[in-house]
């Protein structure tokens, strides 16, 4: 009897301890859910909207009547911002430019913290500034006719596969008669476009299967940080006992495929480097790397870092842009009038005797507006890669401790009725006034803002316009079985939002 009473007392003390811990918070920390054992508030987020973290964060914001939600991922404090003005403030304040040091960044390459996405401080600032400065000369950040021509050539090859038939079994995995496989139909121009930025050359059609393999693995990486991927960040030891279920295997497999893609390219550039003959961006980087080694400075340059720079800049081009185009095509299947309007505009402005170009962008406002609207309507990166507070600071009156994980909920902007009026409707016309595109009306931030602004915004916007305009000039789109599409597919939440792969039927228009 005494033993039973002791057990009850111990259990009571333990329960009281759990309750106290659940509601223990930093002083003046934003309101939010209690901490559950091990995973803190993570499972509470999932319970609000499984596989839809953006909407889950919006619901928490409403539940706690706060623009900022504060919670704990295990022992780590996290805040999620659900307000347009506060999101802009966070993205433009230097003290929020940090990145969390997690397994997502370390597991990519020999447990080193390299690249652009998952680094911060002096290392990140130096590498980002250098790469942006010199990649710009090759069209990454501005218009470049050579890059535009290269992407148009690849798009023409993909269109030719449909019109004149495939050449081998690998091509049939992407194009099968009048059926095309999305999103990977669009892999080649964007991945090859990034290769062109780095080495001013592209891979020919015979090498397209290698590019498609990279595209498949890039999507695998993006999906690796799904609902269970969050558990992997909090309890990284899951990689040893549940490598597949936790997302760790897909994370490493996806990254390794992109790394392997660039290894030979970089090794060849290093082996053939000539100090007196600058060929491309890789040569510029190698030169800087050699200079800093010779000068014995505190260098951030290395062959490993160059490999991860190429990898980081390629991931969005190998997955994100294709997903946006695929979401738009799916939306056209749900709303056929959108396809009809794009066809009418392209036929009227461009015709059928020449290919669309970036010169046509201002003259095709509805086509461009459809791209802007799908990025608002179907948020590609709801929470994105978390920032880190570099010091104790304040935000909207709340205290944000140093090393807090800071996420901006871009979906909260995209679904805000005060900004859009009817955010649940797909309505590209919202960006057009008197027949002209009004960029100032686009309040969404699909590429972020501030110093962490996606460096590939110009590359992505120009490439997506070219791909959409050429694709719609060439084809009409319908479902694979010819039946009307009744609802959109279930989105897959990871680092970005992705669409399950599917086949669509395309009918040549000319």
Rounded to whole angstroms, the Cα distance separating 215 from 319 reads: 6
Burial of 401 (0-12, 13-18, 19+ CB in 10 A): middle
Tokens describing residue 181: 């496989």
Residue 141, classed as helix, strand or coil, is coil
Answer yes or no: are the C-beta atoms of 184 and 158 closer than 8 Å.
Answer: no
Return all residues near 209 (Cβ < 8 A) that are at least 6 apart: 170, 171
Residue 480 backbone class (left: φ over 0; alpha: ψ -120 to 50; beta: rest): alpha
Rounded to whole angstroms, the Cα distance separating 428 from 437 reads: 10
Tokens describing residue 312: 């980081």
Residue with tokens 């401790």: 401
Torsion (CA) 479, 485, 487, 490 in degrees, nearest 10 = -10
Answer yes or no: are the C-beta atoms of 208 and 171 closer than 8 Å.
Answer: yes
Tokens describing residue 283: 């040569």
Residue 494, classed as helix, strand or coil, is coil
Residue 239: in which H helix or E strand, if any?
A: helix 238-241
Q: Do the annotations mark residue 76 as ligand-binding?
A: no
Using alpha carbons, select from 497, 507, 499 the residue that is nearest to residue 225.
497
Torsion (CA) 353, 355, 357, 359 in degrees, nearest 10 = 0
Sign of the C-alpha dihedral computed for residues 428, 487, 336 and 470 taken in this order: positive
For residue 116, count other CB atoms closer than 10 A to its CB. Answer: 20
The beta-strand segments (E) located in 440-501 are 475-479, 492-493, 497-498
For residue 47, count other CB atoms closer than 10 A to its CB. Answer: 12
Q: How far is CA 338 from CA 22, 281, 369, 373, 506, in A?
A: 50, 40, 11, 12, 16
Using alpha carbons, select from 395, 365, 427, 293 the residue that is nearest to residue 79.
395
User: Cis peptide before 183, with omega less than 30 degrees from 0?
Assistant: yes
Cα–chain-centroid distance for residue 152? 23
DSSP assignment string, 352-372: SSS---GGGGGG-HHHHHHHH
- Binding-site positions for heme: 454
- Binding-site positions: 454
């Amino acid at each position: 009897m005494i033993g039973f009473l002791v057990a009850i007392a111990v259990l009571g003390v333990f329960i009281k301890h759990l309750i106290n811990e659940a509601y223990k918070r930093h002083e003046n920390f934003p309101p939010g859910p209690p901490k559950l054992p091990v995973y803190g508030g993570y499972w509470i987020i999932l319970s609000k909207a499984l596989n839809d973290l953006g909407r889950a964060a919006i619901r928490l914001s409403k539940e706690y009547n706060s623009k900022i939600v504060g919670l704990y991922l295990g022992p780590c404090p996290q805040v999620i911002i659900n307000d347009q003005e506060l999101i802009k403030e966070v993205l433009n304040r230097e003290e929020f430019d940090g990145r969390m040091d997690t397994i997502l960044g370390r597991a990519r390459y020999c447990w080193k913290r390299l690249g652009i996405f998952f680094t911060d401080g002096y290392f990140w600032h130096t590498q980002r500034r250098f790469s942006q400065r010199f990649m710009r000369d090759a069209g990454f950040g501005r218009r470049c006719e050579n890059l535009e021509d290269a992407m148009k050539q690849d798009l023409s090859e993909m269109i030719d596969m449909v019109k004149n038939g495939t050449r081998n079994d690998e091509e049939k995995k992407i194009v099968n008669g009048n059926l095309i496989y999305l999103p990977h139909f669009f892999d080649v121009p964007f991945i090859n476009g990034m290769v062109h930025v780095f080495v001013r050359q592209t891979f020919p059609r015979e090498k397209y299967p290698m590019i498609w393999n990279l595209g498949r693995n890039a999507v695998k990486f993006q999906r690796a940080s799904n609902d269970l991927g969050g558990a992997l960040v909090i309890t990284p030891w899951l990689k040893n006992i549940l490598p597949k279920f936790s997302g760790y295997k897909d994370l490493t497999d996806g990254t390794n495929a992109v790394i392997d893609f660039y290894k030979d390219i970089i090794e060849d550039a290093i082996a053939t480097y000539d100090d007196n003959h600058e060929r491309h961006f890789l040569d510029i980087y190698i030169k800087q790397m050699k200079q800093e080694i010779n000068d014995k400075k505190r260098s951030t340059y290395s062959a490993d870092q160059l490999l991860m720079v190429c990898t980081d800049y390629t991931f969005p081009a190998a997955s994100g842009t294709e997903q946006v185009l695929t979401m738009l095509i799916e939306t056209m299947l749900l709303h056929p009038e959108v396809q009809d309007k794009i066809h009418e505009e392209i036929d009227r402005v461009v015709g059928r005797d020449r290919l669309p170009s970036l010169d046509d962008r201002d003259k095709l406002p509805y086509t461009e507006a459809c791209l802007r609207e799908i990025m608002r309507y179907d948020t590609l990166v709801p929470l994105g890669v978390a920032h880190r507070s570099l010091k104790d600071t304040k935000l909207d009156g709340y205290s944000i401790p140093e090393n807090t994980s800071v996420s901006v909920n871009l979906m909260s902007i995209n679904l805000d009725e005060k900004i859009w009026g009817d955010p649940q409707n797909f309505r590209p016309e919202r960006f057009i006034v008197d027949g002209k595109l009004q960029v100032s009306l686009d309040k969404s931030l699909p590429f972020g803002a501030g110093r962490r602004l996606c460096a590939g915004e110009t590359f992505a916007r120009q490439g997506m316009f070219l791909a959409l305009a050429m694709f719609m000039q060439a084809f009409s789109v319908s479902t694979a079985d010819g039946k009307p599409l009744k609802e959109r597919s279930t989105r897959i939440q990871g680092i970005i939002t992705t669409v399950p792969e599917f086949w669509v039927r395309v009918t040549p228009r000319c």
